[in-house]
Amino acid sequence: MGRDGRRGTAERHATLPAGMRDAVDSFAQHLALVDNRSTHTVRAYVADVVSLLDHATRMGVRTPAGLDLAVLRSWLARQRTVGAARATLARRAATARTFSAWAHRAGLVATDPGAALASPKPHRRLPAVLRADQAEQLMPPADSTADPLPARDRLVLELLYATGVRVSELCGLDIADVDQVRRIVRVLGKGGRERTVPYGEPAEAALRDWLRRARPELAGPRSGDALLLGAKGGRLQTAVARRIVAAAAHAAGLPRTTPHGLRHSAATHLLEGGADLRSVQELLGHAALSSTQLYTHVSVERLRQAYRQAHPRA
C-alpha cells in the first residue's frame, strides 16, 4: 500500500477541497444529531466518507456535485485491489449509499448515485459460542474478601450472559436502570432505542452484593449514577469489561471469550431452550429479525453435530 493508503482520516480530511470538507462535517453532524448515531458509528462513517472523497478528489472531482456512480465504483474497486474483505467492501458500499442519499436530500448532488450501487454480500460466519456448561464455568463464585473488584467482575459476567446486552450498553447502565423487585434492566441500545430485559437469580445475587457491599468502596466524585465502576471510581470502560471477560475465560480454562461472545451464547442458549425468535430479537435489541435468525443457524448446526454423533444411520 502506498503512502496515500497510510494517511490517517484527519490528514485526509484536512487536504480535501473546502466543499468536500464542509460536506463531511455536515454529514457527521446529521448522523450524530438527527440520526442519533453513536460516537463510534459516526467515526466509522466519517472515515469511510473521507476515504471516498479523497479518492474522488484524486479523480479530479472538487465538489460533492461531481460524485457519480463511476466514482463510487472506482473507490470500491480500489478498496478491493488493496485487499479489503467482502464484509468491509459491503460496509463501505453501504456508507457510500448513505452519504450519497443524504447529499441528494441536502441538495449537494442533483441525483443520488448510490441508489444504483451494488455491493458484495458479506459472508456471515457462525458466531463462536460457549456451551451452557462452559458458561456456567465462566461465572466466578461469590467473593467475601474486602476487595470490591471481584464482586464487580462477577456482576459484569453475570449480567452480560443473563441479559445478552452489548458491552457498551452494559457500561452505560445507571443504578436507576435496574429494577431489582421485578429483576429487569432498562437498556438504551443502538439508535437510541430503549428496551427492557429480564435477568435471573444468579445475576440478582451478584447485583445485590455489588450494590450493598462493593460499589460503596469504589464510589467517589466521578461515579455519578453509573452502575458499574472502574478501579478509580469512574464509569466502567468497555475495554476494562472486555479484559474482565477474557481473564475469566482464561482462568476457567475456556476458549478465548469476549462480551460479544457471551451475547451470542445467551441468544443461542435461549433458542435451544425453546424461546421463540421474536422474543430473542426483542431481548437483543435487533432492529431486523434477519439479525436474530443467524442464531438459528448456530442451533441447527449443533443439532446436526449431535445427530451425526448419536444417530445409528447418520
H or E segment to which residue 195 belongs: strand 194-198
Residue 31: closest CA among 20, 14, 44, 18: 44
Verify whether residue 166 is a known catalytic residue.
yes
Catalytic residue (one of 92, 215, 263, 269): 263
Catalytic residue (one of 190, 195, 297, 302): 190
Catalytic residue (one of 45, 161, 199, 295): 295
For 69, how many CA atoms within 13 A lie in the half-sphere containing its CB?
9
Verify whether residue 263 is a known catalytic residue.
yes
Count Cβ atoms within 10 A of the Cβ of residue 306 and give its class: 0-12 exposed, 13-18 middle, 19 or more buried.
Answer: exposed
Verify whether residue 190 is a known catalytic residue.
yes
Q: Are 175 and 227 in contact (CB under 8 A)?
A: yes
Verify whether residue 161 is a known catalytic residue.
no
State the DSSP code for 176.
Answer: G
Cβ within 8 Å of residue 55, ≥6 positions away:
71, 74, 75, 78
Catalytic residue (one of 55, 92, 166, 215): 166
- For the record, the C-alpha cell of 50 comes out as 473521507
Catalytic residue (one of 80, 195, 260, 297): 260
Verify whether residue 199 is a known catalytic residue.
no
Provide the annotated active-site residues: 166, 190, 260, 263, 286, 295
